[in-house]
Amino acid sequence: MKRLLLLLFWLVCCSPFSSGTPHTDSDFQSFEAEFLAQLWKAYPTWASSVGYHLYDSLLPAPNDANREKELSFCSRMLSELKQYNPSDLSSSERVNYYIIENQLLYLKWNIEELKEYQWNPALYNVSGVFAEMLSNNYSSIDIRLSNFMLRLDKVPAYYEAAKQSIYNPTLAHTQLAIEQNEGGLTVFTTDLNNAIEQSSLSKNEIIILRNKSQRAVNAIEAYVNWLKKLDNPNPRSNKLGEVLYEQKFKFELQSKFTAKEIFNKAMQQKMATHKKMYEITASLWPKYFGGKIPERRLQAVRMLIDTLSSRHVSANDFQACIERQIPKLTRFIKKKNLIILDPTKPLIVRREPDYMAGVAGASISAPGPYDKSGNTYYNVGSLDGWSIEKSESYLREYNNYVLQILNIHEAIPGHYTQLVHANANPSLIKSIFGNNTMIEGWAVYAERMMLENGYDIDTANKGEASPEMWLMYYKWHLRSICNTILDYGVHTGKMTKEAAMELLMKQAFQEKTEALGKWNRVNVTQTQLCCYFTGFTEIFEFREEYKSLMKDAFHLKKFHEDFLGKGSAPVKYTRQLMLEQKNR
Protein backbone atom coordinates (compact mmCIF):
# COMPACT_ATOMS: atom_id res chain seq x y z
CA MET A 1 0.00 0.00 0.00
CA LYS A 2 2.69 2.39 0.99
CA ARG A 3 4.66 1.55 -2.12
CA LEU A 4 1.68 2.16 -4.35
CA LEU A 5 1.11 5.56 -2.82
CA LEU A 6 4.69 6.51 -3.42
CA LEU A 7 4.47 5.38 -6.99
CA LEU A 8 1.32 7.39 -7.55
CA PHE A 9 2.96 10.39 -6.01
CA TRP A 10 5.90 10.02 -8.35
CA LEU A 11 3.59 9.83 -11.36
CA VAL A 12 1.68 12.95 -10.37
CA CYS A 13 4.77 14.97 -9.63
CA CYS A 14 7.04 14.14 -12.44
CA SER A 15 4.98 13.57 -15.54
CA PRO A 16 4.38 14.76 -18.10
CA PHE A 17 6.68 17.78 -17.87
CA SER A 18 9.96 16.14 -17.17
CA SER A 19 11.29 12.66 -17.41
CA GLY A 20 12.82 11.37 -14.21
CA THR A 21 14.09 13.65 -11.50
CA PRO A 22 13.71 17.42 -11.71
CA HIS A 23 16.67 19.29 -13.14
CA THR A 24 19.01 21.03 -10.79
CA ASP A 25 20.68 24.40 -11.16
CA SER A 26 23.91 22.76 -12.15
CA ASP A 27 22.16 20.82 -14.97
CA PHE A 28 20.85 24.10 -16.20
CA GLN A 29 24.23 25.78 -15.91
CA SER A 30 25.73 23.10 -18.16
CA PHE A 31 22.98 23.84 -20.64
CA GLU A 32 23.85 27.56 -20.45
CA ALA A 33 27.52 26.85 -21.15
CA GLU A 34 26.59 24.66 -24.12
CA PHE A 35 24.13 27.27 -25.37
CA LEU A 36 26.80 30.00 -25.29
CA ALA A 37 29.37 27.81 -27.01
CA GLN A 38 26.88 27.14 -29.83
CA LEU A 39 25.75 30.75 -29.96
CA TRP A 40 29.27 32.07 -30.60
CA LYS A 41 29.81 29.49 -33.30
CA ALA A 42 26.62 30.62 -35.01
CA TYR A 43 27.34 34.34 -34.53
CA PRO A 44 31.13 34.84 -34.71
CA THR A 45 31.11 38.64 -35.08
CA TRP A 46 28.77 39.01 -32.12
CA ALA A 47 31.23 36.75 -30.25
CA SER A 48 34.14 39.07 -31.05
CA SER A 49 32.18 42.08 -29.85
CA VAL A 50 31.64 40.60 -26.38
CA GLY A 51 35.29 39.59 -26.07
CA TYR A 52 34.99 35.91 -27.07
CA HIS A 53 37.78 35.55 -29.62
CA LEU A 54 37.74 31.91 -30.69
CA TYR A 55 36.02 32.71 -34.01
CA ASP A 56 37.79 35.96 -34.86
CA SER A 57 38.76 34.71 -38.31
CA LEU A 58 35.15 34.05 -39.38
CA LEU A 59 32.65 36.26 -41.16
CA PRO A 60 29.57 34.38 -42.40
CA ALA A 61 27.95 35.69 -45.58
CA PRO A 62 24.49 36.98 -44.62
CA ASN A 63 22.60 34.91 -47.20
CA ASP A 64 19.47 32.72 -47.07
CA ALA A 65 21.50 29.64 -46.19
CA ASN A 66 23.04 31.39 -43.21
CA ARG A 67 19.66 32.66 -42.03
CA GLU A 68 18.34 29.09 -42.26
CA LYS A 69 21.25 27.99 -40.11
CA GLU A 70 20.47 30.70 -37.56
CA LEU A 71 16.80 29.72 -37.49
CA SER A 72 17.57 26.07 -36.94
CA PHE A 73 20.04 27.01 -34.20
CA CYS A 74 17.27 28.97 -32.47
CA SER A 75 14.70 26.19 -32.81
CA ARG A 76 17.11 23.56 -31.60
CA MET A 77 18.10 25.63 -28.57
CA LEU A 78 14.47 26.48 -27.77
CA SER A 79 13.53 22.84 -27.71
CA GLU A 80 16.52 22.03 -25.52
CA LEU A 81 15.54 24.88 -23.22
CA LYS A 82 12.02 23.45 -22.95
CA GLN A 83 13.48 20.29 -21.38
CA TYR A 84 13.85 22.38 -18.26
CA ASN A 85 11.00 23.45 -16.08
CA PRO A 86 11.62 26.98 -14.81
CA SER A 87 9.93 26.17 -11.52
CA ASP A 88 12.61 23.54 -10.78
CA LEU A 89 15.30 26.23 -10.86
CA SER A 90 16.54 28.68 -8.26
CA SER A 91 15.24 32.20 -8.74
CA SER A 92 18.43 33.51 -10.34
CA GLU A 93 18.66 30.63 -12.84
CA ARG A 94 14.96 30.97 -13.57
CA VAL A 95 15.60 34.55 -14.67
CA ASN A 96 18.38 33.27 -16.96
CA TYR A 97 15.88 30.81 -18.44
CA TYR A 98 13.54 33.68 -19.37
CA ILE A 99 16.41 35.82 -20.70
CA ILE A 100 17.61 33.00 -23.00
CA GLU A 101 14.08 32.22 -24.14
CA ASN A 102 13.44 35.88 -24.98
CA GLN A 103 16.74 36.12 -26.87
CA LEU A 104 16.05 33.06 -29.02
CA LEU A 105 12.49 34.12 -29.80
CA TYR A 106 13.75 37.63 -30.63
CA LEU A 107 16.34 36.31 -33.10
CA LYS A 108 13.73 34.12 -34.78
CA TRP A 109 11.18 36.90 -34.90
CA ASN A 110 13.69 39.26 -36.48
CA ILE A 111 14.23 36.92 -39.44
CA GLU A 112 10.68 35.59 -39.80
CA GLU A 113 8.50 38.62 -39.01
CA LEU A 114 10.51 41.83 -38.92
CA LYS A 115 12.67 40.83 -41.92
CA GLU A 116 15.14 43.58 -41.18
CA TYR A 117 17.69 41.85 -43.42
CA GLN A 118 15.59 42.95 -46.39
CA TRP A 119 14.89 46.58 -45.62
CA ASN A 120 17.86 47.78 -43.57
CA PRO A 121 21.04 48.00 -45.72
CA ALA A 122 22.88 49.52 -42.71
CA LEU A 123 22.82 46.07 -41.08
CA TYR A 124 25.65 45.23 -43.45
CA ASN A 125 28.80 46.91 -42.26
CA VAL A 126 32.04 45.20 -41.28
CA SER A 127 34.07 48.20 -40.11
CA GLY A 128 33.03 47.99 -36.45
CA VAL A 129 34.12 44.41 -35.98
CA PHE A 130 37.47 45.06 -37.72
CA ALA A 131 38.04 48.30 -35.78
CA GLU A 132 37.56 46.40 -32.54
CA MET A 133 40.25 43.89 -33.56
CA LEU A 134 42.74 46.71 -34.02
CA SER A 135 41.92 48.83 -30.99
CA ASN A 136 41.24 46.26 -28.30
CA ASN A 137 44.41 44.72 -26.80
CA TYR A 138 42.97 41.30 -25.96
CA SER A 139 45.96 39.55 -27.52
CA SER A 140 49.21 40.46 -29.29
CA ILE A 141 48.92 42.64 -32.38
CA ASP A 142 50.42 39.86 -34.53
CA ILE A 143 47.73 37.37 -33.51
CA ARG A 144 45.04 39.95 -34.00
CA LEU A 145 46.37 40.88 -37.44
CA SER A 146 46.55 37.26 -38.56
CA ASN A 147 42.84 36.80 -37.69
CA PHE A 148 42.16 40.18 -39.27
CA MET A 149 43.71 38.92 -42.48
CA LEU A 150 41.67 35.69 -42.51
CA ARG A 151 38.47 37.59 -41.84
CA LEU A 152 39.29 40.09 -44.61
CA ASP A 153 39.16 37.28 -47.19
CA LYS A 154 35.46 36.90 -46.50
CA VAL A 155 34.48 40.55 -47.01
CA PRO A 156 33.70 40.42 -50.78
CA ALA A 157 31.34 37.43 -50.36
CA TYR A 158 29.78 39.17 -47.38
CA TYR A 159 28.75 42.22 -49.41
CA GLU A 160 27.61 40.09 -52.35
CA ALA A 161 25.23 38.28 -49.99
CA ALA A 162 24.09 41.64 -48.61
CA LYS A 163 23.08 42.82 -52.09
CA GLN A 164 21.15 39.58 -52.67
CA SER A 165 19.30 39.99 -49.38
CA ILE A 166 18.13 43.57 -49.80
CA TYR A 167 14.61 44.12 -51.11
CA ASN A 168 12.73 47.47 -51.23
CA PRO A 169 14.86 49.01 -48.47
CA THR A 170 13.75 52.14 -46.65
CA LEU A 171 15.30 55.35 -47.93
CA ALA A 172 16.49 56.38 -44.46
CA HIS A 173 18.36 53.13 -43.89
CA THR A 174 19.81 53.21 -47.40
CA GLN A 175 21.22 56.65 -46.69
CA LEU A 176 22.53 55.52 -43.31
CA ALA A 177 24.22 52.48 -44.87
CA ILE A 178 25.99 54.71 -47.39
CA GLU A 179 27.24 57.11 -44.71
CA GLN A 180 28.32 54.45 -42.23
CA ASN A 181 30.06 52.22 -44.75
CA GLU A 182 31.91 55.20 -46.20
CA GLY A 183 32.79 56.40 -42.69
CA GLY A 184 34.21 52.99 -41.80
CA LEU A 185 36.75 52.90 -44.64
CA THR A 186 39.48 54.52 -42.51
CA VAL A 187 39.63 51.30 -40.47
CA PHE A 188 41.27 49.62 -43.49
CA THR A 189 43.60 52.51 -44.25
CA THR A 190 44.72 54.80 -41.42
CA ASP A 191 43.87 52.48 -38.52
CA LEU A 192 45.33 49.41 -40.22
CA ASN A 193 48.54 51.27 -41.09
CA ASN A 194 48.97 52.32 -37.46
CA ALA A 195 48.51 48.71 -36.35
CA ILE A 196 50.98 47.41 -38.95
CA GLU A 197 53.62 49.79 -37.57
CA GLN A 198 53.29 48.24 -34.12
CA SER A 199 53.47 44.68 -35.45
CA SER A 200 56.44 42.45 -36.27
CA LEU A 201 55.02 41.33 -39.63
CA SER A 202 57.53 40.67 -42.40
CA LYS A 203 57.64 42.86 -45.51
CA ASN A 204 56.00 40.09 -47.48
CA GLU A 205 53.19 39.61 -44.97
CA ILE A 206 52.54 43.33 -44.99
CA ILE A 207 52.17 43.31 -48.77
CA ILE A 208 49.68 40.42 -48.61
CA LEU A 209 47.74 42.14 -45.83
CA ARG A 210 47.58 45.42 -47.79
CA ASN A 211 46.34 43.59 -50.91
CA LYS A 212 43.62 41.83 -48.99
CA SER A 213 42.54 45.01 -47.31
CA GLN A 214 42.41 46.75 -50.70
CA ARG A 215 40.06 44.02 -51.93
CA ALA A 216 37.87 44.59 -48.88
CA VAL A 217 37.85 48.35 -49.49
CA ASN A 218 36.84 47.71 -53.11
CA ALA A 219 33.96 45.50 -51.95
CA ILE A 220 32.72 48.15 -49.53
CA GLU A 221 32.96 50.89 -52.16
CA ALA A 222 31.13 48.70 -54.66
CA TYR A 223 28.36 48.15 -52.11
CA VAL A 224 28.08 51.89 -51.46
CA ASN A 225 27.90 52.62 -55.20
CA TRP A 226 25.32 49.89 -55.68
CA LEU A 227 23.19 51.47 -52.95
CA LYS A 228 23.57 54.95 -54.44
CA LYS A 229 22.32 53.75 -57.83
CA LEU A 230 19.73 51.31 -56.50
CA ASP A 231 16.48 51.31 -58.46
CA ASN A 232 13.98 51.41 -55.63
CA PRO A 233 10.59 52.64 -56.84
CA ASN A 234 8.63 51.20 -53.87
CA PRO A 235 10.79 51.80 -50.81
CA ARG A 236 9.39 50.38 -47.64
CA SER A 237 8.26 52.87 -44.99
CA ASN A 238 10.69 53.20 -42.11
CA LYS A 239 7.76 53.38 -39.66
CA LEU A 240 7.19 50.00 -38.06
CA GLY A 241 3.45 50.27 -37.47
CA GLU A 242 1.68 49.41 -34.23
CA VAL A 243 1.76 45.59 -34.40
CA LEU A 244 5.47 45.14 -35.16
CA TYR A 245 6.32 48.00 -32.82
CA GLU A 246 4.59 46.42 -29.82
CA GLN A 247 6.32 43.11 -30.56
CA LYS A 248 9.74 44.65 -30.91
CA PHE A 249 9.15 46.66 -27.73
CA LYS A 250 8.34 43.44 -25.87
CA PHE A 251 11.49 41.62 -27.03
CA GLU A 252 13.85 44.57 -26.84
CA LEU A 253 12.79 46.23 -23.58
CA GLN A 254 11.40 43.23 -21.66
CA SER A 255 9.34 45.63 -19.62
CA LYS A 256 6.29 44.80 -17.57
CA PHE A 257 4.53 47.57 -19.52
CA THR A 258 3.37 47.59 -23.13
CA ALA A 259 4.61 50.35 -25.45
CA LYS A 260 1.17 51.94 -25.36
CA GLU A 261 1.15 52.01 -21.56
CA ILE A 262 4.58 53.63 -21.46
CA PHE A 263 3.53 56.19 -24.05
CA ASN A 264 0.54 57.15 -21.90
CA LYS A 265 2.74 57.47 -18.84
CA ALA A 266 5.17 59.67 -20.78
CA MET A 267 2.34 61.97 -21.86
CA GLN A 268 1.23 62.32 -18.23
CA GLN A 269 4.78 62.92 -17.03
CA LYS A 270 5.32 65.60 -19.64
CA MET A 271 2.35 67.56 -18.30
CA ALA A 272 3.36 67.05 -14.68
CA THR A 273 6.94 68.12 -15.44
CA HIS A 274 5.82 71.28 -17.24
CA LYS A 275 3.71 72.15 -14.22
CA LYS A 276 6.65 71.76 -11.83
CA MET A 277 8.94 73.74 -14.11
CA TYR A 278 6.48 76.60 -14.24
CA GLU A 279 6.14 76.65 -10.46
CA ILE A 280 9.91 76.88 -10.07
CA THR A 281 10.12 79.58 -12.74
CA ALA A 282 7.40 81.62 -11.05
CA SER A 283 9.18 81.38 -7.71
CA LEU A 284 12.53 82.45 -9.22
CA TRP A 285 11.11 85.14 -11.48
CA PRO A 286 11.67 88.07 -9.09
CA LYS A 287 15.28 86.97 -8.50
CA TYR A 288 16.22 86.85 -12.20
CA PHE A 289 13.87 89.16 -14.05
CA GLY A 290 11.51 91.11 -11.78
CA GLY A 291 8.31 92.51 -13.21
CA LYS A 292 5.46 90.47 -14.56
CA ILE A 293 5.99 86.86 -15.67
CA PRO A 294 4.91 86.18 -19.31
CA GLU A 295 1.43 84.74 -19.82
CA ARG A 296 2.67 81.89 -21.94
CA ARG A 297 4.02 79.49 -19.38
CA LEU A 298 6.45 77.52 -21.56
CA GLN A 299 7.90 80.78 -22.83
CA ALA A 300 8.60 81.96 -19.27
CA VAL A 301 10.30 78.65 -18.47
CA ARG A 302 12.38 78.90 -21.62
CA MET A 303 13.59 82.40 -20.66
CA LEU A 304 14.86 81.18 -17.32
CA ILE A 305 16.51 78.11 -18.88
CA ASP A 306 18.27 80.38 -21.39
CA THR A 307 19.56 82.59 -18.59
CA LEU A 308 20.85 79.68 -16.50
CA SER A 309 22.46 78.05 -19.56
CA SER A 310 24.92 80.94 -19.83
CA ARG A 311 26.63 79.53 -16.73
CA HIS A 312 29.03 77.14 -18.37
CA VAL A 313 32.72 76.21 -18.53
CA SER A 314 35.03 77.15 -21.39
CA ALA A 315 35.84 74.71 -24.18
CA ASN A 316 39.42 74.27 -22.91
CA ASP A 317 38.29 73.44 -19.41
CA PHE A 318 35.61 70.92 -20.41
CA GLN A 319 37.51 67.69 -19.75
CA ALA A 320 39.32 69.02 -16.67
CA CYS A 321 36.00 70.07 -15.20
CA ILE A 322 34.60 66.56 -15.63
CA GLU A 323 37.71 65.12 -13.97
CA ARG A 324 37.29 67.44 -11.00
CA GLN A 325 33.66 66.44 -10.54
CA ILE A 326 34.23 62.68 -10.22
CA PRO A 327 35.79 62.78 -6.70
CA LYS A 328 33.11 65.28 -5.65
CA LEU A 329 30.38 62.85 -6.62
CA THR A 330 32.17 60.06 -4.76
CA ARG A 331 32.46 62.14 -1.58
CA PHE A 332 28.80 63.10 -1.71
CA ILE A 333 27.67 59.48 -2.07
CA LYS A 334 29.81 58.41 0.87
CA LYS A 335 28.64 61.25 3.04
CA LYS A 336 25.00 60.49 2.32
CA ASN A 337 25.53 56.73 2.47
CA LEU A 338 23.71 56.07 -0.80
CA ILE A 339 25.55 53.16 -2.36
CA ILE A 340 28.83 51.19 -2.08
CA LEU A 341 31.60 52.43 -4.38
CA ASP A 342 34.43 50.00 -5.08
CA PRO A 343 37.75 51.93 -4.86
CA THR A 344 39.67 49.08 -6.51
CA LYS A 345 37.88 49.65 -9.81
CA PRO A 346 38.86 53.19 -10.76
CA LEU A 347 37.23 55.15 -13.54
CA ILE A 348 39.73 56.64 -15.99
CA VAL A 349 38.67 59.89 -17.62
CA ARG A 350 40.23 60.23 -21.08
CA ARG A 351 39.89 62.14 -24.28
CA GLU A 352 37.62 60.27 -26.69
CA PRO A 353 39.69 58.00 -28.99
CA ASP A 354 39.60 58.99 -32.67
CA TYR A 355 37.64 56.00 -33.90
CA MET A 356 34.64 57.02 -31.81
CA ALA A 357 34.95 60.75 -32.37
CA GLY A 358 31.89 62.75 -33.23
CA VAL A 359 29.40 60.22 -31.90
CA ALA A 360 28.50 61.43 -28.43
CA GLY A 361 29.71 64.08 -26.01
CA ALA A 362 30.56 61.55 -23.36
CA SER A 363 30.35 57.81 -23.00
CA ILE A 364 31.55 54.90 -20.90
CA SER A 365 33.74 52.10 -22.33
CA ALA A 366 33.51 49.13 -20.03
CA PRO A 367 35.26 45.76 -20.24
CA GLY A 368 33.19 43.03 -21.93
CA PRO A 369 31.61 40.03 -20.18
CA TYR A 370 34.65 37.87 -20.97
CA ASP A 371 37.18 40.40 -19.75
CA LYS A 372 35.87 41.77 -16.49
CA SER A 373 39.28 42.87 -15.24
CA GLY A 374 39.85 45.46 -17.99
CA ASN A 375 39.80 49.20 -17.37
CA THR A 376 36.69 51.34 -17.46
CA TYR A 377 37.04 54.60 -19.35
CA TYR A 378 34.99 57.75 -19.33
CA ASN A 379 35.41 59.07 -22.88
CA VAL A 380 34.99 62.82 -23.15
CA GLY A 381 34.55 64.34 -26.60
CA SER A 382 36.98 67.11 -27.46
CA LEU A 383 35.70 70.41 -28.83
CA ASP A 384 38.92 71.01 -30.80
CA GLY A 385 38.32 72.38 -34.25
CA TRP A 386 34.69 73.27 -33.59
CA SER A 387 33.37 76.64 -34.73
CA ILE A 388 32.73 79.20 -31.99
CA GLU A 389 28.95 78.95 -32.53
CA LYS A 390 28.90 75.18 -32.43
CA SER A 391 30.98 74.93 -29.29
CA GLU A 392 29.05 77.75 -27.56
CA SER A 393 25.78 75.95 -28.29
CA TYR A 394 27.22 72.68 -26.98
CA LEU A 395 28.61 74.29 -23.82
CA ARG A 396 25.29 76.03 -23.16
CA GLU A 397 23.58 72.65 -23.48
CA TYR A 398 26.09 71.11 -21.04
CA ASN A 399 26.05 74.10 -18.72
CA ASN A 400 27.21 73.97 -15.08
CA TYR A 401 23.96 72.32 -14.00
CA VAL A 402 23.51 69.81 -16.79
CA LEU A 403 27.18 68.82 -16.81
CA GLN A 404 26.73 67.52 -13.27
CA ILE A 405 23.70 65.52 -14.31
CA LEU A 406 25.63 64.13 -17.28
CA ASN A 407 28.39 62.95 -14.93
CA ILE A 408 25.87 61.37 -12.61
CA HIS A 409 24.30 59.58 -15.59
CA GLU A 410 27.47 58.35 -17.27
CA ALA A 411 29.72 57.83 -14.28
CA ILE A 412 28.83 57.98 -10.60
CA PRO A 413 26.44 56.54 -9.52
CA GLY A 414 25.09 55.96 -13.07
CA HIS A 415 26.50 53.64 -15.75
CA TYR A 416 29.95 53.16 -14.30
CA THR A 417 28.73 52.29 -10.79
CA GLN A 418 26.06 49.99 -12.18
CA LEU A 419 28.60 48.16 -14.35
CA VAL A 420 30.97 47.58 -11.44
CA HIS A 421 28.11 46.00 -9.47
CA ALA A 422 26.92 43.98 -12.48
CA ASN A 423 30.45 42.65 -13.06
CA ALA A 424 30.47 41.33 -9.51
CA ASN A 425 27.49 39.12 -10.42
CA PRO A 426 28.89 35.82 -11.69
CA SER A 427 26.15 35.21 -14.25
CA LEU A 428 27.53 35.43 -17.80
CA ILE A 429 24.02 35.21 -19.22
CA LYS A 430 22.95 38.37 -17.42
CA SER A 431 25.97 40.35 -18.58
CA ILE A 432 26.01 39.14 -22.20
CA PHE A 433 22.30 39.82 -22.63
CA GLY A 434 22.42 42.91 -20.43
CA ASN A 435 19.06 44.62 -20.57
CA ASN A 436 19.48 48.09 -21.99
CA THR A 437 16.26 49.28 -20.39
CA MET A 438 17.58 48.39 -16.96
CA ILE A 439 21.00 49.91 -17.74
CA GLU A 440 19.69 53.24 -19.10
CA GLY A 441 16.85 53.25 -16.59
CA TRP A 442 19.35 53.00 -13.75
CA ALA A 443 21.39 55.95 -15.05
CA VAL A 444 18.23 58.07 -15.38
CA TYR A 445 17.07 56.96 -11.94
CA ALA A 446 20.49 57.88 -10.49
CA GLU A 447 20.05 61.49 -11.68
CA ARG A 448 16.79 61.82 -9.80
CA MET A 449 18.05 60.02 -6.71
CA MET A 450 21.08 62.31 -6.35
CA LEU A 451 18.92 65.43 -6.50
CA GLU A 452 16.42 63.97 -4.05
CA ASN A 453 19.33 63.62 -1.68
CA GLY A 454 20.39 67.21 -2.12
CA TYR A 455 23.14 67.10 -4.74
CA ASP A 456 23.82 70.50 -6.28
CA ILE A 457 26.52 72.53 -8.01
CA ASP A 458 27.44 73.94 -4.67
CA THR A 459 27.96 70.99 -2.35
CA ALA A 460 28.21 73.41 0.55
CA ASN A 461 24.48 74.01 0.21
CA LYS A 462 22.19 73.29 3.10
CA GLY A 463 21.34 69.73 2.12
CA GLU A 464 18.76 70.48 -0.52
CA ALA A 465 19.17 70.92 -4.26
CA SER A 466 18.43 74.49 -5.35
CA PRO A 467 15.37 75.34 -7.45
CA GLU A 468 17.75 76.22 -10.32
CA MET A 469 19.25 72.72 -10.20
CA TRP A 470 15.80 71.14 -10.18
CA LEU A 471 14.66 73.25 -13.11
CA MET A 472 17.63 72.18 -15.22
CA TYR A 473 17.17 68.60 -14.10
CA TYR A 474 13.57 68.67 -15.30
CA LYS A 475 14.69 70.07 -18.62
CA TRP A 476 17.13 67.17 -18.95
CA HIS A 477 14.49 64.67 -17.83
CA LEU A 478 12.08 65.95 -20.48
CA ARG A 479 14.54 64.51 -22.98
CA SER A 480 13.84 60.95 -21.80
CA ILE A 481 10.12 61.60 -21.64
CA CYS A 482 9.96 63.13 -25.12
CA ASN A 483 12.20 60.43 -26.63
CA THR A 484 9.42 57.99 -25.76
CA ILE A 485 6.64 60.19 -27.09
CA LEU A 486 8.59 60.79 -30.29
CA ASP A 487 9.45 57.14 -30.91
CA TYR A 488 5.95 55.87 -30.29
CA GLY A 489 4.38 58.77 -32.17
CA VAL A 490 6.53 58.33 -35.26
CA HIS A 491 6.45 54.54 -35.51
CA THR A 492 2.85 53.79 -34.61
CA GLY A 493 1.10 57.00 -35.52
CA LYS A 494 1.37 59.86 -37.87
CA MET A 495 3.79 62.18 -36.12
CA THR A 496 5.25 64.40 -38.82
CA LYS A 497 8.63 66.08 -38.78
CA GLU A 498 6.89 69.37 -38.02
CA ALA A 499 5.09 67.90 -35.00
CA ALA A 500 8.30 66.27 -33.84
CA MET A 501 10.22 69.55 -33.97
CA GLU A 502 7.43 71.30 -32.06
CA LEU A 503 7.58 68.60 -29.38
CA LEU A 504 11.36 68.69 -29.01
CA MET A 505 12.03 72.41 -29.39
CA LYS A 506 8.97 74.01 -27.81
CA GLN A 507 7.96 71.43 -25.24
CA ALA A 508 11.34 69.95 -24.36
CA PHE A 509 13.34 73.20 -24.83
CA GLN A 510 15.94 71.65 -27.15
CA GLU A 511 18.20 73.48 -29.56
CA LYS A 512 17.46 73.00 -33.25
CA THR A 513 20.58 70.90 -33.95
CA GLU A 514 19.76 68.58 -31.07
CA ALA A 515 16.15 68.19 -32.21
CA LEU A 516 17.22 67.48 -35.81
CA GLY A 517 19.68 64.86 -34.59
CA LYS A 518 16.88 63.18 -32.66
CA TRP A 519 14.62 63.26 -35.72
CA ASN A 520 17.32 61.49 -37.75
CA ARG A 521 17.78 58.92 -35.02
CA VAL A 522 14.08 58.09 -34.69
CA ASN A 523 13.97 57.45 -38.42
CA VAL A 524 16.58 54.71 -38.29
CA THR A 525 15.89 53.08 -34.91
CA GLN A 526 12.77 51.66 -33.32
CA THR A 527 11.92 51.28 -29.61
CA GLN A 528 15.48 52.03 -28.36
CA LEU A 529 14.61 55.65 -27.64
CA CYS A 530 11.99 54.37 -25.17
CA CYS A 531 14.45 52.55 -22.93
CA TYR A 532 15.45 55.59 -20.82
CA PHE A 533 11.98 56.54 -19.64
CA THR A 534 10.69 52.96 -19.45
CA GLY A 535 13.59 51.79 -17.30
CA PHE A 536 13.41 54.87 -15.10
CA THR A 537 9.68 54.44 -14.56
CA GLU A 538 10.00 50.77 -13.64
CA ILE A 539 12.85 51.35 -11.19
CA PHE A 540 11.32 54.43 -9.61
CA GLU A 541 7.90 52.82 -9.21
CA PHE A 542 9.47 49.67 -7.81
CA ARG A 543 11.49 51.64 -5.26
CA GLU A 544 8.35 53.41 -4.06
CA GLU A 545 6.49 50.09 -3.90
CA TYR A 546 9.32 48.48 -1.96
CA LYS A 547 9.53 51.43 0.40
CA SER A 548 5.87 51.17 1.29
CA LEU A 549 6.15 47.41 1.80
CA MET A 550 9.24 47.65 4.02
CA LYS A 551 8.04 50.66 6.00
CA ASP A 552 10.62 51.50 8.70
CA ALA A 553 12.92 48.68 7.58
CA PHE A 554 13.57 50.39 4.23
CA HIS A 555 17.14 51.57 3.70
CA LEU A 556 18.00 53.32 0.46
CA LYS A 557 21.57 51.99 0.34
CA LYS A 558 20.43 48.43 1.02
CA PHE A 559 17.80 48.77 -1.71
CA HIS A 560 20.43 49.95 -4.21
CA GLU A 561 22.84 47.17 -3.27
CA ASP A 562 20.18 44.46 -3.58
CA PHE A 563 18.90 45.89 -6.82
CA LEU A 564 22.27 46.29 -8.57
CA GLY A 565 23.56 42.99 -7.19
CA LYS A 566 21.08 41.15 -9.43
CA GLY A 567 23.06 42.18 -12.51
CA SER A 568 21.77 43.84 -15.69
CA ALA A 569 18.56 41.79 -15.78
CA PRO A 570 15.20 43.23 -16.85
CA VAL A 571 13.69 45.25 -13.97
CA LYS A 572 10.55 43.10 -13.80
CA TYR A 573 12.65 40.05 -12.88
CA THR A 574 14.82 41.85 -10.35
CA ARG A 575 11.62 43.14 -8.76
CA GLN A 576 10.28 39.59 -8.56
CA LEU A 577 13.50 38.29 -6.98
CA MET A 578 13.59 41.06 -4.38
CA LEU A 579 9.95 40.59 -3.46
CA GLU A 580 10.52 36.84 -3.08
CA GLN A 581 13.56 37.44 -0.87
CA LYS A 582 11.65 39.87 1.27
CA ASN A 583 8.92 37.31 1.93
CA ARG A 584 11.40 34.65 2.95
What's the CA gap between 575 and 243, in Å, rounded? 28
Q: Which lies closer to Zn ion via its Cβ, residue 107 or residue 444?
A: 444
Nearest CB to Zn ion, comparing residues 134 and 308: 308
Burial (0-12, 13-18, 19+ Cβ within 10 Å), 442? buried
Which is closer to Zn ion, CB of 333 or CB of 443? 443
In sequence order, the 6+-apart residues with CB closer than 8 A to the CB of 509 are: 301, 302, 305, 475, 478
Binding mask 197-226 for Zn ion (x = CB under 5 A): ------------------------------
Query: 36 or 451, CB closer to Zn ion?
Result: 451
Torsion of CA 158, 164, 169, 172, to 10 degrees: 20
Our CB check for Zn ion shows the closer of 89 and 362 to be: 362
Min dist. Cβ of residue 406 to Zn ion (A): 10
How far apart are CB 545 and Zn ion at their closest, in Å? 24
Give the whole-angstrom CA distance, residue 458 versus residue 554.
29
Q: Are 265 and 257 in contact (CB under 8 A)?
A: yes
Judged by CB under 5 A, the stretch of 235-243, 435-443, 542-550, 566-574 that binds Zn ion is 435-443
Q: Is cis: bond before 327, omega within 30 of 0?
A: no
DSSP state of 527: S
Least distance to Zn ion, CB of residue 551, Å: 33
* Beta carbon of residue 72, minimum distance to Zn ion (angstroms, whole number): 36
* Between 93 and 447, CB nearer to Zn ion: 447
What is the side-by-side strand order in the sheet with 347-351?
Answer: 347-351, 376-380, 362-365
- Smallest CA-to-CA distance from 469 within 280, 320, 275, 331 is with 280
Nearer to Zn ion, 77 or 262 (CB): 262
> Among residues 338 and 443, whose Cβ is nearest to Zn ion?
443
Binding mask 469-488 for Zn ion (x = CB under 5 A): --------------------
The verdict on whether omega for the bond into residue 44 sits within 30 degrees of 0, i.e. cis, is: no
For residue 415, the minimal CB distance to Zn ion (Å) is: 6
- Alpha helical stretches, state H, 425-466: 428-432, 436-452
Point out the residue whose Cβ comes nearest to Zn ion.
443
Residue 443, interface with Zn ion (CB under 5 A)? yes
Tell me the number of residues near Zn ion by CB under 5 A.
2
Q: Taking the complex as a whole, how short is the minimal distance between the CB of residue 519 and Zn ion, in angstroms?
A: 20
| C-alpha–C-alpha distance, residues 114 and 251, integer Å | 12
Q: Which is nearer to Zn ion, 96 or 480 (CB)?
A: 480
176 touches Zn ion (CB under 5 A): no
Phi/psi for 379 (5° steps) reads -85, 125
Distance of CA 324 to the CA centre of its chain: 26
Of 241-249, 377-385, 433-441, 562-570: span binding Zn ion (CB under 5 A): 433-441
Least distance from C-beta 512 to Zn ion, angstroms? 17
C-beta of residue 570 within 8 angstroms of C-beta of residue 255: yes
Is residue 364 a contact point for Zn ion (CB under 5 A)? no
List residues near Zn ion by CB under 5 A: 440, 443
